[in-house]
Amino acid sequence: MPYGGPASASGTMGRACVAYFDAVNKAGGINGRKIRLISLDDGFLAAKGVELTRQLVERDGVLFIYGSLGVPTNAAVQKYLNGKKIPQLFLTTGASRFNDPKTYPWTMPTLPSYSAEGAALARYVLQSVAAPRIAVIYQNDDLGKDFIGGFRNGLGERAKSLLVSEQAYEITDPTVDSQVIAAKGSGANVLYFAGTQKFGAMQIRARHDLGWKPLHLVCSISSSVDAVLKPAGFDRAEGLISTAYTKDPGDSTWANDADVRKYVDWVKANLHEASASDPGHIVGYMSSSLVAYVLAQAKDNLTRENILEVATHLDNPPTPMLLPGISVRTTPNDYSIITKFQIQQFRDGLWVRIGDLIDG
């Protein structure tokens, strides 16, 4: 987990995972066994992630890895873990390289496909803007390229004529101001950002401070109210478009929803002053519940082979916080945990759902 470094805003997920299994252990564990979850800080550095993964496998003898965040950090250990036949489960990424059962049968993502999400947002642009001139700003790695690749696919044959500016940035860059200035200078009336939280907040501020008012879309990774929109400023974020697949505890729609109330009570009891609306807490809670389910179904056959067998045959297990109509299913040939999501717009401090679910 990146508890430090440029993606540290996502460290909330790791804290939720640790808290989840602390609570499970206090309640007696799973099938009479306590769970030892080891969570280490890779600082979102691939080399550090490799070092720590080897430590977990070769020194600590872990049964499997789960929930690890990020494309570069997970990619750096993917071949190693598959070579060792160690499950790399429910990763916090939607990059296409992690849903490739033929090449990497031991690796499975949690998040919806970045490519499918990008395509859905492109279709939304085509439906919403009569004469779109589109600028994209993306993180120059597999994450950003997957989003943008899907976005181009969604535009279809018109992509070349509609995309008037494509600006990449590196995760180590201090700002994205120059990319936003170049995007505005292109004359675009649509801006699509595909990158991580820190830069998501930066580009919202930069776009607003330039007085530029395009239709502004952001990938789901950068839609967090607490990690992105608050730092950017709610007034600057007003009108943003993104996607969702989980319920938002801050949305009054779910005020009396039993699933949400249970989750909010869990956050209060186990994460204390933390925000229940933080996507990291929601995803950590959700992915940990899937791990608990897999362990429960594995019973006393706690081999790595059986863990993978259970994980690749999920058929709508009880999964908290998913929007109605979204369920979890996997097969040995398709590891797509979640295949549907919802277009949403940020209005008056809250995300508001627009239209029906989109199948990715």
Are the beta carbons of 349 and 340 closer than 8 angstroms? Answer: no
CATH architecture of 114-244: 3-Layer(aba) Sandwich (3.40)
Which of 127, 193, 200 has its CA nearest to residue 354?
127
Q: What is the pTM assigned to this prediction?
A: 0.82
Mean pLDDT of the chain: 94
Listed by start position, the domains of the chain span: 8-112+256-340, 114-244
Distance CA 262, CA 267 (A): 9
CATH number of 8-112+256-340: 3.40.50.2300
Residue 96, classed as helix, strand or coil, is: helix
Same fold, 8-112+256-340 and 114-244: yes
Who's near 205: CB < 8 A, 6+ residues apart? 232, 233, 236
Angle at 82 between CA 56 and CA 79, to 5 degrees: 90
Q: How many other β-carbons are positioned within 10 Å of the β-carbon of residue 34? A: 11
Are the beta carbons of 278 and 321 closer than 8 angstroms? Answer: no
Per-residue confidence (pLDDT) for residue 34, from 0 to 100: 97
pLDDT digit string, tens, across residues 293-348: 999 999 999 999 999 999 999 999 999 999 999 999 999 999 988 888 899 999 99
pLDDT digit string, tens, across residues 118-164: 999 999 999 999 999 999 999 999 889 999 999 999 999 999 999 99
First vs last C-alpha separation in the chain: 27
- Tokens at residue 337, please? 């945990």
Q: Which residues pair with 65 in a beta bridge?
A: 88
pLDDT digit string, tens, across residues 252-290: 889 999 999 999 999 999 998 888 988 899 999 999 999
Percent of the chain's residues with pLDDT above 70: 99
Phi/psi of residue 350, nearest 5 degrees: -140, 150
pLDDT digit string, tens, across residues 230-259: 999 999 999 999 999 999 898 888 999 999
